[in-house]
Amino acid sequence: MANRLGESGELDGLKRPDGLEGKVAVITGAASGIGAATARVLVREGASVVLGDINDAALEKLVAELGDSAVGLHADVTQEEGIRSLVQAALDSFGRLDVLDNNAAAEIPEDTGTATSSDEAWRRTFDLNVMAAVWGARHAIPAMLASDGGGSIINISSGAVRHPTATKAAYGACKSALETFSLYLGAQHGAAGIRSNVVRPGFVLTEGVRDIFDEEQRSRFADMLTLGRVCEPQDVAETVAFLASPASGYVNCAVLDIDGGGARPMVSW
């Protein structure tokens, strides 16, 4: 049978979407975990990245690993100036901005429970998870529009919005607020070519999580899951890369659960 693949490897009339070559992404909280994995995957796919974090040592190491495709900046995203400086660095270093990945998060030990957490814990959690994204949109959207290629904003939420834990009520509630903010962003700016989507990981084996659970606990957890393995940071990063790229051009206002399908069915009838 005749092969319908042309020289470019495309089927007749079926154009391959552009990839991330030439695109520029800002990633917050990029020095470790899911953010670092995302930086590696986006650079692998041809993007340039501006990486922000407050952990300077880890950030410096990652930037050295990624070479000329990456710029790192000390940027505390609980301050508007932190996120503004990342957007500016994208324009100064690479001349454009296409992608904003709102990824930064932190453990706030005072985020104990619904009634017991301090106001300060609630406010810090809100600033980090919600205001950082608000400020990000405020500065990134004009830069994306000026770059003339549309844009993609990716907001990293958490399965905690649907599966409450014994502590961290502020974290779960603020991630819910981030999801709703993402929906409004996509609705209000979609017509201008700027998409906004949520990536909602379940339990991910980042360095921090590896420290808390031993090998046996991790393996018991994996046995309970539909896919039989625990999520790695790269699993989340690949989804972020898809949402960042033109291949997801009709995905807007979506929430993608990256939990491998969750728990295995407990009964078999």
Q: Give 239's contacts (C-beta < 8 A, 6+ positions apart).
A: 199, 256, 258
Region near ligand NAD per CB under 6 A, out of 2-10, 25-33, 88-96, 113-121? 25-33
Residue in the structure block whose two tokens are 């005072």 = 110
Catalytic residue (choose from 171, 181, 203, 242): 171
Q: Rule CB under 6 A: say whether 104 interacts with ligand NAD.
A: yes
Task: Name which of 58 and 253 has its Cβ closer to ligand NAD.
Answer: 58
Q: Min. distance of Cβ 178 from ligand NAD in angstroms?
A: 9
Among left, alpha and beta (phi > 0; psi -120 to 50; other), residue 261 is left
Q: What is the DSSP-derived secondary structure letter of residue 189? A: H
- Closest residue to bound ligand NAD by CB: 33
Q: Min. distance of Cβ 102 from ligand NAD in angstroms?
A: 8
Task: Name which of 127 and 147 has its Cβ closer to ligand NAD.
Answer: 127
Helix (H) or strand (E) holding 141: helix 132-147
Q: Rule CB under 6 A: say whether 53 interacts with ligand NAD.
A: yes
What is the spatial distance between Cα 169 and Cα 165, in angstroms, rounded to a whole number? 8
Region near ligand NAD per CB under 6 A, out of 41-49, 53-61, 136-144, 210-218? 53-61
Q: Rule CB under 6 A: say whether 31 interacts with ligand NAD.
A: yes
Q: What is the DSSP string of 81-133?
A: HHHHHHHHHHHHHHS---EEEE------TT---TTTS-HHHHHHHHIIIIIHH
Q: Rule CB under 6 A: say whether 203 interacts with ligand NAD.
A: yes
C-beta of residue 67 within 8 angstroms of C-beta of residue 91: no
Q: What is the DSSP string of 158-198?
A: -GGGTS--SS-HHHHHHHHHHHHHHHHHHHHHGGGTEEEEE
Nearest alpha carbon to residue 123 among 111, 115, 139, 112: 111
Angle between helices 169-189 and 132-147 (to 10 degrees): 20
Region near ligand NAD per CB under 6 A, out of 16-24, 28-36, 135-143, 238-246? 28-36
Task: Name which of 18 and 232 has its Cβ closer to ligand NAD.
Answer: 232
Question: Annotated catalytic, 171?
Answer: yes
Enumerate residues 145-184 that contact ligand NAD by CB under 6 A.
156, 158-159
Task: Name which of 135 and 203 has its Cβ closer to ligand NAD.
Answer: 203
C-beta of residue 224 within 8 angstroms of C-beta of residue 180: no
Among 51, 97, 105, 194, binds ligand NAD (CB under 6 A): 105
Task: Name which of 24 and 237 has its Cβ closer to ligand NAD.
Answer: 237
Active site residues: 171
Residues in contact with ligand NAD by the rule CB under 6 A? 28-29, 31-35, 52-55, 75-78, 103-106, 128, 156, 158-159, 201, 203-204, 206-209
